[in-house]
Structure 1
Amino acid sequence: MRPVLAAAGAAAVLACSACAGGGPSAEDLAAVDYAPEAFEGFDASPPEEQGLDPYGVAELYWRAGTLESIHSLTVIRNGSVVAQDYFNGTDAELSQNVQSVTKSYTGALVGIAIEEGCIAGLDEPMMTYFPELAGRVTDPRKEQITIGQLLQMRAGYPWLEASAEGVELLFHGFAPSNVVDVPLARDPGSGWDYSNLSSHFLAIAVARACADEDLLDFAQERLFDPLATAPSDWTQDWEGYRLGYTELFVTAREMARFGQMYLDGGRVDGAQVVPESWIEQSWTPYTESAWYYKVGDNFDRTAYGYQWWIIDAGPHTYRLAWGHGGQQIAVLPELDLVIVVTADPLRGQLGDEPWALEKANLNLVADYIAGLPEQDDG
């Protein structure tokens, strides 16, 4: 059943400015099927009932249908799913590798661990959780690295994808010994480098401090169960630690519940799952202009918090859990909006061609958000 594309009738309706010229015809938009379907955690509601222009939503889904690697697109407003669809032969049952969106889940687990006291706090030295390696560390700067710096990606560890040696390590698999083996690119706290290794060290720290080694057990009880989430897999490294930076396998609907929880201040059904103060800290921009490459005209201000990105698009700022291939949980608090994208994770694929696919998926969301007018509180 296709949604009815009724005319937007009031200033409170959020329109898509891109619909004014170019792009799909009225007939194209009328043929788009994005009818919402309720799922656990969300009622279904037509977009116009939640203040979104249905023509703008139709154009968003029309554009999604032109993308080569997208798997799903879900739009949630005011806690209701207003649009969803699956592409390229996928469906709602697909539980897939969400790549570096995993980092945002890892960040949530660190916040829970600090709240429970098994990790002392942001200023706790990283080496506290790797005591067996203390005598092997030859770079004294590594003794200074803190949990907070790992979260911010300001610990000094390098962007591994920038070198052939780093890429080999990235796909071979990390281990606790990399605390010693991988040299620092800069002094801890002096600058930002995108570091998969830092996120994995966080996961190992939580596992060792809170979970009797297996992070999945801790995560299932503290985070996944409240979110009605059952990962189909979470890859382990050679020593059995869950990868804190990638290869968590969840569905688009499970990602939507995670994004809505962050939008709701860490609460699920009235229960506090992640501390509200942790949400605020995670979404604070500690580094501006963090990303290395241009993504798109509306994908701007790539600031970084605690395992979350802060992106400007037009008049809006949204928070983004971002994974390779264009996996996204975009959260726009000012408009009570969550947008989830899953895509081909492009595992092991680097270079211009996969980056072009990823950018197309990222820009789909950024362009739509940029086209939404500012909230009219009057």
Structure 2
Amino acid sequence: MQNEKNPGVTVSHDRPTAGPTEPAPRVRAHDRRPLLCVAAMTIVFSSLVSCVSLFGLGPTEEELLAVNYTPEGIGDWAVSTPEAQGLDPLDVARLYYDAAQLETIYGLLVARNGQLVAEGYWHGSDSSQKHNLTSVTKSYMGALVGKAIEQGYIESIDQCMVDYFPEFMPMHDPRKEEITIRHLLQMRAGYPWEESSPELFSKLWLEGFHVSDVVDIPLIRDPGTDHDYSNLSSHILGLIVARATDMDLRDYGQQNLFSLIDSEVGEWPITWDYYRPGYGLIDFSARDAAKFGQLYLDDGLYAGNQVLPAAWVADSLKTYSEDAWDYRIGGNVKEIGYGYQWWLLRSGSHHYNMAWGHGGQVIMVVPDLEMVVVLTANPFFGQSDDESWRNEKANINLVADFIAGLPNE
């Protein structure tokens, strides 16, 4: 999710929440004219719809029919149409109409049944551009851990973190010797959220991550007891994969995962202590991000090849922590949980998984609809404040509202 930052950054620790909603109108028990009321309400509703269209508060059907979301036929995705894949084209048109009103969106893709049915770009972006996906990196990081286990570089998910940091043994806090790779994946290792205090924010974002933070950052709870969103935990996973494989993390990912799904990683900078950040800053195009989502939708299969073990994908998308996010995002973002570096949530009747990055980058994997939705946006690099959070929520709500409105299969 959020906060891959640079020195000199200020941060707001108070996440704004939406205000109270208007109470829904109630039918009074003493009203003896129900049919008249229904008729009157129907007239009022029709008038409101007309006014909405007349005064530009919502798109007319003519405006929706004019929206162009046709995917580019450039060969790396099979393309289709919403109608052919069982979607109402007006629903898709409304999604893209609303997307065009947002301030920070770069790209929006919808794939259904393994075919790209809608694609659009704004604010100078296009299908070839790679963008900083911020904390969506964490979901890629979870996949790389699974790949390293499959290839035998890492013994198991229950291997202890300290096996890869012998230089710090024995640990000053013996509880850290109990932290496993499973704890790190689930963000249940006991490390704190870096925005929980100015001191931690300064330590991890102004001074920078260092390998020694494995020791230096104190635990706030015993390992395995509860969830705390932790960039450090994801960074440690990156350190473990790099040390286990004895490879640069970017090179390992490109050779053993990204190339296998016809994707090419862009920038993934080397930061402090000469390691790449496992918590963020990876660059991919929106199309390549959609391929990663499709990989998880298809249980680790891509073009007939088992790229990731199906069991790993299934375990990654399970809920290990409920109520994992405390701040309100929108009315259709509910039941937010956490798996292995993936979020889980519900919009309407649809339960699905989300890779989530600062600024509102998302890869949404919706199993019951056989759908993947990708949104890329301004990453607000180095900015964590009310403006970035407002735009992040707007981007997430755009997709969540679209998913919530889709009928059950």
TM normalised by structure 1 equals 0.91
Give, in angstroms, the shift of residue 28 of structure 1: 2.0
Q: Which residue is equivalent to 1:123?
A: 158
Tell me, what secondary structure is at the counterpart of 1:76? strand
1:82 matched residue in structure 2: 117
- Indicate the residue corresponding to 1:26 in structure 2: 61
Secondary structure of 1:112's counterpart equals helix
Distance in 1 between the 2:352 and 2:204 partners?
29
Q: In structure 1, which of residues 188, 191, 200 is the aligned counterpart of residue 226 of structure 2?
A: 191
* Structure 2 counterpart of 1:56, from 74, 91, 115: 91
Q: 2:182 aligns with which of 124, 141, 148?
A: 148
**Aligned partners of 1:125 and 1:146 also within 8 Å:** yes
User: How many equivalent pairs are there?
Assistant: 354
Counterpart for residue 359 of structure 2: 325
Contact 1:299 1:363 survives alignment (8 Å)? yes
Which one of the candidate residues 190, 202, 227 is aligned to 2:261?
227
SS in structure 2 at match of 1:239: helix
Structure 2 equivalent of residue 272 of structure 1: 306
Alignment of 1:328-343 (within 5 A): 328-343=362-377
Counterparts in 2 of 1:82-231, with a 5 A limit?
82-135=117-170, 137-172=171-206, 173-210=208-245, 212-231=246-265
| Equivalent residue for 2:397, pick from 356, 363, 367 | 363
1:373 aligns to what?
A: 407
CA–CA distance in 1 between the matches of 2:230 and 2:404?
A: 29
Structure 2 unaligned blocks of 5 or more: 1-47, 53-57
Q: Displacement of 1:318 after TM fit?
A: 1.1
Task: Show CA shifts across 1:303-327 (max 9, x none).
Answer: 1000001110000011100000000
Once the two structures are TM-superposed, the CA of residue 40 in structure 1 deviates from its matched residue by: 4.4
Cα pair 1:157 1:186 within 8 Å, conserved: yes
- Give, in whole Å, the separation in 1 of the partners of 2:198 and 2:269: 23
Deviation of 1:39 (Å): 4.1
1:306 to 340, 356, 363: 340
Distance 2:158 2:79 in 1: 43
Q: Which amino acid aligns with 1:332?
A: V
Q: Distance in 2 between matches of 1:232 and 1:220?
A: 10
Q: Which amino acid aligns with 1:274?
A: L
Distance 1:75 1:145 in 2: 38
Q: CA RMSD in A?
A: 1.3
CA distance in 2, matches of 1:268, 1:168: 41
1:298 is paired with a residue whose SS is coil
2:134 partner SS:
coil
Per the TM alignment, residue 169 of structure 1 is displaced from its structure 2 partner at its CA by: 2.9
- 1:262 maps to which residue? 296
Amino acid at match of 1:69: T
Higher relative contact order (CA 8 A, sep 6+): 2
Classify the secondary structure of the residue corresponding to 2:274.
Answer: coil
AA at the equivalent of 1:314: G
Stretches of structure 1 lacking an aligned partner (at least 5 in a row): 1-19
Task: Name 1:14's counterpart in structure 2.
Answer: none
1:170 shift after superposition:
3.1
TM superposition shift of 1:116: 1.4
Return the offset for 1:25: 1.4
Q: CA deviation at 1:31?
A: 2.2
Q: Aligned partners of 1:87 and 1:169: how far apart in 2?
A: 36
The equivalent residue for 1:8 is: none
- CA gap of 1:188–1:258, structure 2 versus 1, over 3 A, is same
What is the distance in 1 between the residues matched to 2:330 and 2:228? 21
- Name the structure 2 match of 1:65: 100
Bigger shift: residues 220-229 or 153-162: 220-229
Q: Deviations over 1:173-227 (max 9, x none)?
A: 21210001101111111111000000000010011001x1411121111101112
Which amino acid letter does the alignment assign opposite residue 397 of structure 2?
Answer: N
AA of the residue aligned to 1:259: G
Q: Does 1:46 align with 2:116?
A: no
After superposition, the C-alpha distances for 1:279-338 in whole angstroms (9 at most, x for unaligned) are 100000000010120010001111100000111000001110000000010011111100
> Structure 1 vs Structure 2: percent identity of aligned residues?
52
Do the aligned residues in 2 keep the contact of 1:38 with 1:81 (CA within 8 Å)? Answer: no
SS in 1 for 2:260: coil
Which residue matches 2:20?
none
Deviation at 1:134, TM superposition (A): 1.2
Q: Aligned letter for 1:280?
A: A
Shift of 1:230: 1.7
Partners in 1 of 2:186 and 2:321 — Cα distance?
8
Deviation of residue 119 (structure 1)?
Answer: 0.8
State the shift of 1:247 in Å: 0.3
Structure 2 CA distance for aligned equivalents of residues 40 and 270 of structure 1: 17
Query: Following the alignment from structure 2 to structure 1, what is the Cα–Cα distance between the partners of residues 136 and 203?
Result: 20
When Rg is computed on C-alpha atoms for both structures, the one with the higher figure is 2
**Deviation string, structure 1 residues 311-369 (Cα, Å, up to 9, x no partner):** 10000011100000000100111111000000000111112221000000000110000
